[in-house]
Structure 1
Amino acid sequence: MQKLSRGELEAAFTRAIIKLEKEYLGRGPMDARTYVLDDIVLVRLRGVLTLAEVKLSETESGRDLVKETRRRLFESTRSMIEDAVREIFGRTVISLHTDLSTRTGERVIVLTLDQAVE
């Protein structure tokens, strides 16, 4: 089997995250990109909020609710993300972090792996 380039691995992981978002959350981001830096994987998702979430985010309590709900939904997909990392990169996830901006509708996901991606 031919070894995939870093760009091909990044694209494959981006597709996996988009598929997960669509299947699990009902819609995917408007734009997504993955960056691999040694043993760190950074995923940037743009346009992730629904129109209802944008409207709800107009108040502080609404922003908190949107962020907490999205965080919980994301945590429930952790095993699926770990499976995708094993399948695509052949690595194990050590830690997984995410944050969502209700102002820009952008979310970042940061994963640290057990070893660098070559």
Structure 2
Amino acid sequence: MRSKGELEAEISQAVIRFEKEYMGRGPLETRSYVVDDMILVRLRNVLTPAEIKLVQAEDPTRGRDLIKAIRRQLFEQGRSLLEAAVRDIAGVGVKSMHTDVSTRTGERVIVFSLDGVPVFRPS
């Protein structure tokens, strides 16, 4: 049986793999936290150089909206892959998944609401 830290590290690695393989670029830093029947994943520096240029353009609002729309669409298309990876690691089903990206900080947050509490070895 894994410790909580090992479980969180495995989830972080799965999310990094998803971001690299499915979204095209991985984050520079990822941390996952298991909190009761939820998993919170925080990814830093996820924006590509092209996305950063869009945000810095003359109309940054339009750039921000485009980035969020494209990333939301890509994320939704790969949703089942990420949910399956988390389910396999945590040992419980995923009820829902929520995400957003900040075009100001380049940070993305993903929250998984689970069907139960993951089991792990006490630290």
Length-normalised TM-score, structure 2: 0.91
Alpha-carbon deviation of 1:13?
A: 0.7
Contact 2:16 2:30 in 1 (8 A): yes
Question: What amino acid maps onto 2:88 in structure 1?
Answer: E
Show the counterpart of 2:115.
114
Question: What amino acid maps onto 2:5 in structure 1?
Answer: G
Give the alignment's Cα RMSD to 1 decimal: 0.8
Provide the secondary structure at the position in 1 that maps to 2:39. Answer: strand
| 1:55 and 2:53 aligned | yes
Show the counterpart of 1:75.
76
Q: Distance in 2 between matches of 1:8 and 1:94?
A: 22
Length-normalised TM-score, structure 1: 0.95
Q: Percent identity?
A: 59
Q: Distance in 1 between matches of 2:93 and 2:72?
A: 21
Question: Which residue, 39, 42, 46 being the options, matches 2:40?
Answer: 42
Q: Any gaps of 5 or more consecutive residues in structure 1?
A: none
Q: Distance in 2 between matches of 1:99 and 1:21?
A: 14
Question: What amino acid maps onto 1:67 in structure 2?
Answer: K
The list of structure 1 runs, each at least 4 consecutive aligned residues, that deviate by more than 4 angstroms after superposition, is none
Show the counterpart of 2:16.
18
Report matched runs for 1:82-93 at 5 Å: 82-93=83-94
Q: Distance in 2 between matches of 1:87 and 1:32?
A: 19
Question: What amino acid maps onto 1:93 in structure 2?
Answer: V
Question: What amino acid maps onto 2:65 in structure 1?
Answer: D
Question: What amino acid maps onto 2:91 in structure 1?
Answer: G
Q: Any gaps of 5 or more consecutive residues in structure 2?
A: none
Q: Distance in 1 between matches of 2:99 and 2:32?
A: 14
